[in-house]
Chain A
Amino acid sequence: MVAGAPFRSGAGAAAVLNAAAPLGILAAPVALLMIAGEFDLSIGSTLGAAGMTLLLLTQHFGWPLWAALLCALLIAGGIGLANGWLVVRTRLPSFLVTLGTMYVVRGLTVALSRLLTGRTQLSGLDTTPGFDVIRPVLAADLGPVAVAVAWWLILTAAAEWLLRRTRFGNWIFAAGGAPEAAREAGVPVARVKVTLFVATSLAAAFVAFLQAARFGGTDALRGEGQEFRAIVAAVIGGTLLAGGYGSAVGALMGALVFGMVQQGIVITGIDADWFLVVLGTLLVAAVLFNDWVRRHAEAGR
């Protein structure tokens, strides 16, 4: 991807951004959901399911591209709705509910792909009629970087604006910071949470589209581990694991750190194992720092 770029440093920066963008698109809504006090561990498998739906419908069933995109979005939105509904109705920890969804969705994706096509990898999206229409939106390059980078910045800005400048954003903070107090004040806490579960799932579908368009195909296992990386990016960016505080811009920084560490190690030729060491250290440091900030903010005089 970086080959042919004239400047080493410029190419390096572009590679960092390209690596960070898909994670960043996931991390922005994940940060909002975490601020509202919930986790979504199913977005990685939702990403896989949405991509596979798109490929199965267009390649195996011959659906038109637009219908397949719509159907994949609806399936992803349905997964988010199911997560949100289960969490607010059962009051079980979302960590567990979405862990369950993660296995169910991943299992279904792999099993159905195998059942229908005998394979878990599908390609040919780039030769599907209508692909030229979506290519500029999903797979184009803007100079040295992929269009995904632009989406990442736009979605982060929108999420940050929603969080800081709208009523809904106020409710997100309250839903995670003190749910009982929020309910007493008339905040529709359940609606806020369900909406955000749907948002994280739709973001996962969008990343699936971006990657399927870029690579022309997908893998039933795509997105594995992305749920944890998105949470780590949000936490590195200052979002509290316990909810009630954080930002979308922070999640952007967290995703950028991911990209820099990953690409930095690639560019400098350091063994990739060190990537995990650096990441784990960053995560623990971030959690400690966030907790210190929280106690500082909550300390009475």
Chain B
Amino acid sequence: MSPGAPVAPVAPPVLALERATMRFGGVVALDDVSMELSEGRVTCLLGENGAGKSTVIAILSGVLRPSAGRVLLDGAPVALGSPRDARARGIATVYQNLALVPLMSVWRNFFLGQEPVTGRGPLRRLDARRCRSESRDALSTMGILMEDVNRPVGALSGGERQAIAIARALHFGARVLILDEPTAALGVRQAELVLQQVQHARERGAAVLLVTHNPAHALRAGDDFVVLRRGRLAARLAGATVEQLAGLMAGEG
């Protein structure tokens, strides 16, 4: 792929934003932006602070409804009523807080809110054995080998925590994975671990939206690149260089 070539989708888009505009009072946070997420592809959403990245996440994850424009799921218009609704349709968003409880074990976190049970009546209880083995397996398919899933999440590295959040979303049936700045607070090694997770998610057929302001991380993991600048689409590319992306983000493109 040559830098600057137009996007050529290899599969029909799973989730698409079509000419979306978002106004908050008199402020236009997002202005006529279209983008597509396809199965087995990583789309990177780049932009400086205030470029509109968070607004795109909020619309695609069901937090906000666009003032104008539509969201298309498998090509059909869809009204995402709430984050819960979006999740039920297979759109999982992993925020920076990861929705993990530091003092709880890996397996308890993994199944939090969706715990499998065994037994009947008053003896209905957590299927702890299944939780342990399934969480261990789910993590190993993501390239994380964790012998002891009884460890508290707080004792893990930032990259491992991110991996748990991603593996959990995929395990519970996410087809679209929205990752909000997953490498922002991490060092080089931990960021690399997270970018490997993104590759694993792609290999499993997920449509990934990687939101970042780091062009190097985007190029390391992404297939398509969408650059936002002050709420407008600055570029949609299928390949780029770090300098090119950085220039587009800053407004020199």
B residues in contact with A178, CB < 8 Å: 100-102
Interface bits A163-184 vs B (CB < 8 Å: 1, else 0): 0011101110110011011101
* Bound: A301/B189 CA distance, A: 13
| A185 vs chain B, min Cβ distance (A) | 4
Whether a CB of chain B sits under 8 angstroms from the CB of A238 is no
Residue numbers in B under 8 Å from A173 (CB-CB): 101, 103-104, 108
Which of B97, B114, B125, B156 touches A181 (beta carbons < 8 Å)? B97
- Contact of B157 with A by CB under 8 A: yes
Q: Mask for B81-97, Cβ within 8 A of A = 1, else 0? A: 00110000000000101
Residue pair A174, B126 in contact (C-beta under 8 Å): no
B115 at the interface (CB under 8 A from A): yes
- Given known pairs A298-B154, A300-B155, the reply for A170 and B102 (CB within 8 Å) is no
- Asked whether any CB of chain B lies closer than 8 Å to the CB of A299, the reply is yes
Binary contact track A129-164/B, C-beta < 8 Å → 1, others 0: 000000000000000000000000000000001000
Asked whether, in the complex, the Cβ of B99 is within 8 Å of the Cβ of A166, the reply is no
Indicate if B120 sits at the interface (CB-CB under 8 A): no
- Size category, B interface: 20 to 34
> What residues of chain A lie closer than 8 Å to B114, measured between beta carbons?
185-186
A186: chain B residues at CB < 8 Å are 84, 112-114
Cβ A177 vs Cβ B155 within 8 A: no
Chief secondary structure at chain B's binding surface:
loop
Q: Contact string, B133-168, partner A, CB cutoff 8 A, digits 1/0?
A: 000000000000000000010111110000000000
- B106-124 contacts to A (CB < 8 Å): 108, 111-115, 117, 124
- CB B119 to nearest CB in A, in angstroms, measures 9
| Contact A297–B154 (Cβ < 8 Å) | yes
Pair A185/B113 contact, Cβ less than 8 Å = yes
Check if A301 sits within 8 Å of B157, measured CB to CB. yes
Query: Is B113 touching A182 in the complex (CB atoms < 8 A)?
Result: yes
A165: nearest residue on chain B (CB-CB)? B125
Known: A177-B102, A177-B103. Contact between A298 and B97, CB under 8 A?
A: no
Binary B-proximity of A284-301 (CB < 8 A = 1, otherwise 0): 000000000010011111
In whole angstroms, what is the CA distance A185 to B109 when docked? 9
In the assembled complex, the Cα of A46 lies from the Cα of B104 at a distance in Å of: 32
In the bound complex, do residue B103 and residue A297 qualify as a contact, i.e. CB atoms below 8 Å apart? yes
- Which residue of A165, A167, A177, A301 contacts B104 across the interface (Cβ within 8 Å)? A177
A297-B152 CB under 8 A given contacts A166-B124, A187-B113:
yes
Cβ-neighbour of A294 out of B101, B103, B125 (below 8 A) = B103
Cβ–Cβ < 8 Å partners of B112 in chain A: 170, 174, 181-182, 185-187
A interface SS class: helix
Does A244 touch B at the CB level, under 8 Å? yes
A81 to chain B, nearest CB (A): 23
B103 contacts across to A, CB distance below 8 A: 173, 177, 244-245, 294, 297-298
A230 to chain B, nearest CB (A): 22
Identify the closest chain B residue to A167 (Cβ): B115
A187-B112, A298-B152, A300-B158 as given contacts; A181 in contact with B101, CB under 8 Å: yes
Assembly CA distance A101 to B212 (angstroms): 49
Report which residue of A173, A177, A244, A294 has the largest number of chain B beta carbons within 10 angstroms of its beta carbon.
Answer: A177
| B111 proximity list for chain A (CB < 8 A) | 170
Bound complex: CA of A287 vs CA of B103, how far in Å?
Answer: 17
The reply to whether A299 and B117 form a contact with Cβ atoms under 8 Å apart is no
Pick the contact of B154: A167, A169, A299 (CB < 8 A): A299
Q: List the B side residues contacting A244 at CB < 8 Å.
A: 101, 103-104
Q: How far is the CB of A288 from chain B (nearest CB, A)?
A: 18
Shortest CB–CB separation between residue B113 and chain A, in angstroms?
Answer: 3
CB neighbours of A174 from chain B (8 A): 101, 104, 108, 112-113
| Docked complex Cα distance between A122 and B131 (Å) | 54
Please name all residues of chain A whose beta carbon is closer than 8 Å to the beta carbon of B100 when the two chains form the complex.
178, 181
5 A–B contacts from the bound complex (CB under 8 Å): A173-B101, A173-B108, A185-B114, A186-B112, A186-B114
Using a CB–CB cutoff of 8 Å, the interface residues on chain B facing chain A are 83-84, 95, 97-104, 108, 111-115, 117, 124-126, 128, 152, 154-158
The 9 closest A-B pairs by CB, nearest first: A186-B113, A298-B154, A185-B113, A177-B101, A184-B99, A178-B101, A181-B99, A185-B112, A167-B115
